Homo-oligomer: A and B are copies of this chain.
Amino acid sequence: MKKSALQKARASYQPKLPIVLTGPVKAVAGKPTQSVANQTEINELFPCTYGLPEIKFEKNTAPTAGKPVNVGVILSGGQAPGGHNVISGLFDGIKKIHRDSRLFGFIMGPGGLVDHKYIELTAPIINEYRNTGGFDIIGSGRTKLETKEQFDKGLEIIRELGINALVIIGGDDSNTNAAVLAEYYKANNTGVQVLGCPKTIDGDLKNDLIETSFGFDTATKVYSEMIGNIQRDCNSAKKYWHFIKLMGRSASHIALECALQTQPNICIISEEVEAKNLTLQQVVDQIAEVVAARAAEGNNFGTVLIPEGLIEFIPAVKALIAELNDLLAAKAEEFAAVAADKQREFIISNLSPENAATYESLPHGVARQLSLDRDPHGNVQVSLIETEKLLSEMVGKRLAAMKAEGNYKGKFSPLHHFFGYEGRCADPSNFDADYCYALGFNAACLINSGVTGYMSSVRNLVKPAVQWIAGGIPITMMMNMERRHGEMKPVIQKALVRLDGAPFKKFAAQRKDWAYNTCYVYPGPIQYFGPAEVCDQPSLTLQYEHKGK
């Protein structure tokens, strides 16, 4: 692997650890826990791992000698900056327990466990990947560990390698699977521990004890660098409106954090759109109103941040999609026989009046896409919709109408961007490098303390790393029952943007100023070697949430 100059320089960075983890620790158990909702159901589903206590590590003044442990590690789901540091922290952690401990990495995600594909992660390999972005050390995958067959197949290789504990690095779904696996291995007295690590750039896996998922900090900083650069361009040329879509389908944390960092003219928060029951046209009208107001001041430029999942949060669009799915399933044959130029009419005449109106309000191309491109289950493929283009097209139409009414004078030239893949594998910020290393090292301590069904928890994150608090929380504590594919399932509750939370309130208090005036902030690229105020700041979301407590 040919390394860049930065990679070489970063290789020697020693991530900071919470002070407590720098010496021998003992696990101090707190009170028994409850799941966030549906306590009875979750308890029934997790008889062996429900109600466990929170754990906090404290200094151990009378440590006993450690025994070697063999650990398997899995990267699950979408990439997030810092994954390699979780693994190197885990490696250093188990080596500290005993130098004969061994680490096995399962290849290309959870599928590697089932298919018995693995490599042993030795010091030379680990050292190649310290403080780097990406999941390429062992690859990642999206196989869901859900069935007894998978669990038993996994147990075979676990036995073969003498593995004592499995660490699954993943988002809410992967950690849900980790909890199910932990329960299964415990119920069957396998002695195999299963632990989770909170990963996702989306930032929607968090609660009081998991203050943030790793990767969110770095990814939002990369996107904010790009947005800032675009805003500086926008404010120099003064002739384009940039519609910037940001990854994050379920929650708008990424868009909100980027807005706090860069102060764009407009940022849409899906959770607010849903709470206010806005139609797509109302979202469009709000944007058009800002465009017109800025144009009146001679400013025919601006920026709009759009969360990737917006369209699925708009109640009217959600209702339309549900009816479309039903309609196209029920009248599949009839629809297939309709001539191409009559399909639009057919759909409109068969929809309820409300949904027909929503359908008609969409640009023709998008409407056609909704009725034609369906997934193997026959469902409309919402993710194919280029929301940034859909919005700018509808804004353009609205502005044309306003111009005709005499309510808008100006030029509207939109440009489009989508940032996602640019940030998922960036080199981790100092924050993520430290946080991930601590999460991994802490997971080793959890293994050593013999628990299972826990998530590695490192908190107090707005403080310097030495003051961070390390421990574990039972995964079942984060669960509730939700409908998935028509069935009620135990899952980790997603943390959406709270409209009564400090980050959103901070944004809401300033956004009018940002909309009409030009208040752009230009964060620039992530720095690793400069002053602490440049290099070591956690996300604004984390900072405001902390202050809001």
Contacts and interface: CB of A to CB of B under 8 A. Distances in A.
Interface stretch (A16-24, A133-141, A392-400, A459-467): A133-141
A424 B530 contact: no
Interface in A225-241: 225-226, 228-230, 232-233, 235-238, 240
B6 A132 contact: no
Interface string A39-69: 0000000000000000000000000000000
A78 B236 CA distance: 9
A295 interface: no
A492 interface: no
Interface in A508-549: 519, 521-531, 533-534, 537
A27 interface: no
Contacts of A229: 133, 222, 421-426
A263 interface: yes
A523 B519 CA distance: 31
A3 interface: yes
A5 interface: yes
Interface in A252-268: 261, 263
User: How many chain copies does the complex carry?
Assistant: 2
Nearest to A219: B229
Contacts of A521: 2-4
A6 B224 CA distance: 13
A9 B530 contact: yes
Contacts of A102: none
B134 A5 contact: no
B4 A140 contact: no
Nearest to A426: B229
Contact of A527 (B225, B417, B529): B529
A526 B120 CA distance: 34
B534 A79 contact: no
A425 B232 contact: yes
Interface string A195-237: 0000000000000000000000000001001101110110111
A183 interface: no
Interface in A91-143: 108, 132-136, 139-140
A358 interface: no
B236 A427 contact: no
Interface string A76-88: 0011000000000
Contacts of A415: 421
Contacts of A230: 421-422, 425
B132 A522 contact: yes
A436 B475 CA distance: 55
A140 B237 contact: yes
A525 B422 contact: no
Contacts of A8: 533
A116 to B, nearest CB: 17
B529 A4 contact: no
A242 interface: yes
A423 B524 CA distance: 11
A136 B524 contact: no
A237 B79 contact: yes
A238 B524 contact: no
Nearest to A2: B521
A7 interface: yes
A233 B4 contact: no
A233 B425 CA distance: 5
A226 B523 contact: no
A262 to B, nearest CB: 9
A138 to B, nearest CB: 9
B533 A5 contact: yes
Given A522-B427, A529-B530, A238 B5 contact: no
Contacts of A421: 229-230, 233, 240, 242, 415, 417
A8 B132 CA distance: 27
Nearest to A141: B237
Contact of A9 (B5, B133, B525, B531): B531
Given A522-B133, A525-B525, A425 B236 contact: yes
A531 B230 CA distance: 28
A140 B236 contact: yes
Interface of A: 2-10, 78-79, 108, 132-136, 139-140, 222, 225-226, 228-230, 232-233, 235-238, 240, 242, 261, 263, 415, 417, 421-427, 519, 521-531, 533-534, 537
9 contacts: A4-B261, A5-B523, A9-B531, A10-B524, A136-B236, A226-B226, A232-B425, A426-B524, A527-B529
Task: Pick the 7 closest A-B CB pairs, nearest first.
Answer: A525-B525, A529-B530, A232-B425, A134-B232, A135-B236, A6-B524, A233-B425
